[in-house]
Chains A and B, each alone.
Chain A
Amino acid sequence: MSGFSLRTGKRGKVYVPLLVLLGVLLFSFIYAPKTEAASYNYTDFPMEDSVMRASNTMTASQIQNFLTEKGSGLAVFQDVEDCGSPSGSHYSYYTAYYHCGNTMSAAQIIYDAAQAYGINPQVLLATMQKEQSLITTPNPTSSQLNYAMGYGCPDSGGCGYAGFFNQVDNAAWQLRTDMELGAGNNWWGYAPSSYPCNGATRYYSAALKTGNNVTFYDDYGTGYTNFVMPNMATATLYCYTPHVYPGSSKQYYSGSYWFVYYFNRWFVSYSWQWMSQYAYTDQTKTTPKSLNGILPGERVYVGFTAKNTGNQTWSNTGANPVMVGTVSPQERNSIFYDGTWLSPTRPATLKEASVAPGQTGTFEFWLTIPDSPGGYNERFSLIANGTAWFNDVGLSYGIGVAPRIFSWQWMSQYAYTDQTKTTPKSLNGILPGERVYVGFTAKNTGNQTWSNTGANPVRVGTLSPLERSSQFADGSWIGNSRPATLKEASVAPGQTGTFEFWLTIPDSPGGYNERFGIVAEGLRWFNDVGLSYGIGVAPRIFSWQWMSQYAYTDQTKTTGVDLMNVHPGNKMYVGFTAKNTGNQTWSNTGANPVRVGTTSPLERTSVFAQDSGWLGPSRPATLKEASVAPGQTGTFEFWLTSPSTAGSYNERFNLLSEGRTWFNDLGLSYGIKSQ
């Protein structure tokens, strides 16, 4: 028996910690806090005129059930439907809708008033809640009931119209009256000029009528919101309660905020029914597209139509535009996200400006197929953005993503002297430093279109090993392992693409097998077909043959000088010509210019260098010509200044490719006698 367990016959072990845990759970249950969330949209609340006038949205028994469900004290409340004296001018009108003189339930009174004045009973219920919390108060006070609709009880005092029936009857009448008079209609014997919100007041800047731009003011005269009155239903609500939403303390009254809060919560219904759905290659919707076997990176234009089966008109603008949203789970970031989407969870907005109940709306958007192959069931639903999700009808797009195949087949390859591709160039015996323009063509045998732009351009890359830094890299390359990008803008499967680039032959002689492949940059390498360029690099040969040499008094080279009879300090302008018998073109610029250098010994400091303007004490001069190709003759000229010490000199020189190598030594010398 362990220290923390008790054996109880065959019932096994009962752990003391388990008992403690049970106790903790019990206490937690007792103390567990409950939370609730509030969400609302109070600005620019557009109640449609048709919704305001929809008097048949609820029957009396539905109203009764609604009150009971909300725990309202009104569920058990009743009042007399007092139609006034039978001699009253409207008595006969009342008798058509009310049970005059009879005590009726609150639900029946609300229903009857709605019918009498053609007002949506839901509007009356939300107003009742806005004014007195009567829908949610379990045990309302007589003051709440007496001023159920807040009717005729302005802040300035002097309340009238007390009594539940009086309130409901008069408020329903007032709402419909305001709506009609504000729209320019005669109603109940009153002309449009009788509309009570016909002009500015301390709480708003202009008549509350359709199309008017209205600024609302707080109790201290500060404007706090401004919008264009969208219709008379909305205007009527603000006429009844000229406050839009609550603010900080003592600023402005809560007013219509509560109406919107509860009306939205209880009665606004967004629902839809699936009508059709489709997928096309593009927005023209001419070529249908199967979503099975679709390729990564492809884009598909999909859409669906939806019938509005709710009671709200859908809009694609305003505070709560109707959008497509991702579900399963809601607000899921879709892997089919396309750059045209509003966000990773919102593919599109309703195409039509508005879709009334019973009408059909359209939603269309692009899907970008992700990289990972496999089967997907992409689920969407509708949402009145910022307010509520619609019913989920299970809309989905079943998408089968095929794996990406990048493959190619060798078609041809070539090498030219330059980009004009007029003179073919053998790659055998090619000289160091030369540039060759090579290329090859490749057939796209995969299922992906090659592109030379975008996130994954198709390029040539070095192989053996992969990403090898090539010795043949040229300044025109993208990098030392990336000679070039596909020449064509795009190459579809079955088509042939071209890749061309320069090779710069390296110094080291020998045989090379330069291997290349194709890569979708940043994505993957294609199949290796063994593409290579066999290149034989000949050794660099720098050699020359003496052609002539001379000595003059100066650079004009008009008066010869006898080098065997010069005096200390004499200056002589000497030169020689040399035939290029090697395989390298001589140049007088660049990294390896061809120059004259002192020999015997090499790099000897010459006594004739002083005051001669040499490049250095062992470098008399550079090749005069810009370049001397093999077989051509070059010239080298420079000054010699006879040293101060008399004597006989044999000044020896040779050619060199500076920084690279000395040429063959022909024993070029200037015999000089200074006396």
Chain B
Amino acid sequence: MLVFIEVADKINIMKTRNQRASSRKRLIIALIIIVILFVLAGLAYYLYQKKHQTKISPAPTPTITQLPKQPASNNGEKKPTTPNTVNDGTATDNNGQISEPISSSPSQWTSSASGLVTVKKPIAGEVVTNGFELAGTAKVSKLQYRLLDNEVGVISRGFINVVSGNFSVNVSFSPHSKAGRLDVFTTDDNGVESNEVQINVRF
């Protein structure tokens, strides 16, 4: 009878050991999964930060809500005139074929806040002349650009094809002042702009 009880106790002890071992195993597996998830999340966060840290374009100029008061033209008198338009230049699309030279210093490039658009030519403050090359890389299929003159506003605009991640156009324009701004951006079906890059240029 005693022997029988001892055998039963041994079996119980073995069962308890087995149960403990099983619990430990589960704990280790759960820890491994948590570690893998942390590593993946960390890696994703690192890549995301790295991607969006570099060369982000300066914060857009605050929106103008009101200009200094302008007197009514000719005291409200009007006379038929023509032409009444600022002539828009256009661009010749090189379909992603970027010409050399191009700045090898990424710090001189300008990217959109989203990181989807990077303009490598021209660089900020560069003097641009009629026919200059606007080029860079983008993770979208189509872009638009507009060249602003500090005196009369838009003086050139057009679409840009992105081919294999690169874009390049030669921009034609006639300046009215000595400086301006180059905007490169994407638009949705409603024309709403996003992923904008703004570069101040000189004429």
Contact = CB atoms under 8 A, between A and B. Distances in A.
Contacts of A135: 191
B81 interface: yes
B149 to A, nearest CB: 6
Contact of A159 (B88, B139, B146, B176): B176
Contacts of A241: 83-85
Contacts of A83: 72, 76
Interface in A16-41: 19, 22-23, 26-27, 30-38
A82 B189 contact: no
A152 B80 contact: no
Given A173-B78, A177-B80, A246 B158 contact: yes
Given A33-B140, A90-B76, A135-B191, A246 B70 contact: no
B152 A142 contact: no
Contacts of A196: 80-82
Contacts of B101: none
Most A CB atoms within 10 A — which of B60, B62, B87, B150? Answer: B87
A142 B163 CA distance: 34
A141 B148 contact: yes
Interface string B156-183: 0111000000000010101010001101
A7 B29 CA distance: 8
B87 A155 contact: yes
B10 interface: no
Contacts of A7: 29
Interface string A147-163: 11111111101011111
Contact of A188 (B78, B142, B189): B78
A84 B72 CA distance: 5
Chain A interface size, as a band, is 35 or more
Interface stretch (A72-80, A300-308, A451-459): A72-80
Interface stretch (A252-260, A553-561, A617-625): A252-260
A222 interface: no
B84 A171 contact: yes
Given A83-B76, A88-B75, A178-B80, A142 B87 contact: no
B202 to A, nearest CB: 15
A143 interface: yes
B66 interface: yes
B70 A27 contact: no
A142 B150 CA distance: 8
Interface in A128-143: 129, 131-133, 135-143
A136 B176 contact: no
A644 B8 CA distance: 141
Interface string B125-148: 000001100000011111000101
A102 B175 CA distance: 34
B131 A139 contact: no
A150 B159 CA distance: 21
Contact of B40 (A22, A32, A78, A253): A22
B187 A136 contact: yes
B93 to A, nearest CB: 9
A269 to B, nearest CB: 14
What is the predominant secondary structure among interface residues of chain A facing chain B?
loop
A417 B4 CA distance: 120
Contact of B153 (A14, A36, A146, A190): A146
A254 B155 CA distance: 10
Contact of A240 (B76, B83, B159): B83
Contact of A143 (B85, B150, B172): B150
Contacts of A243: 87-88
B140 A35 contact: yes
Interface in B33-71: 33, 36-37, 40, 43-44, 47-48, 51, 60-67, 69-71
A35 B141 contact: yes
B30 to A, nearest CB: 6
Contacts of B197: none
A230 to B, nearest CB: 20
Contacts of B30: 8
A144 B154 contact: yes
A113 interface: no
A151 B74 CA distance: 14
Contacts of A391: none
B44 A255 contact: no
Given A136-B191, A141-B181, A159-B151, A249 B90 contact: yes
Contacts of B51: 30-31
A644 B183 CA distance: 121
B19 to A, nearest CB: 13
B201 to A, nearest CB: 13
Given A132-B86, A155-B87, A253-B89, 19 more contacts: A6-B29, A22-B40, A69-B190, A82-B70, A82-B71, A88-B77, A89-B76, A90-B76, A90-B78, A131-B85, A131-B154, A147-B86, A150-B152, A152-B73, A155-B174, A161-B73, A163-B73, A165-B70, A255-B85
Interface of A: 6-9, 14, 19, 22-23, 26-27, 30-38, 69-71, 73, 76-80, 82-85, 88-91, 94, 103, 129, 131-133, 135-155, 157, 159-166, 169-171, 173-174, 177-178, 181, 188, 190, 194-197, 203, 239-243, 246-255, 258, 262, 265-266
19 contacts: A8-B33, A19-B37, A23-B44, A35-B140, A36-B142, A90-B78, A132-B86, A138-B60, A143-B149, A146-B70, A147-B153, A149-B84, A150-B86, A153-B86, A159-B176, A173-B78, A174-B80, A177-B80, A255-B85
Interface of B: 26, 29-30, 32-33, 36-37, 40, 43-44, 47-48, 51, 60-67, 69-78, 80-92, 116, 130-131, 138-142, 146, 148-154, 157-159, 170, 172, 174, 176, 180-181, 183, 186-193, 196
Give the 5 A-B residue pairs with the shortest CB-CB distance, closest first.
Answer: A163-B70, A84-B76, A196-B82, A249-B92, A84-B72
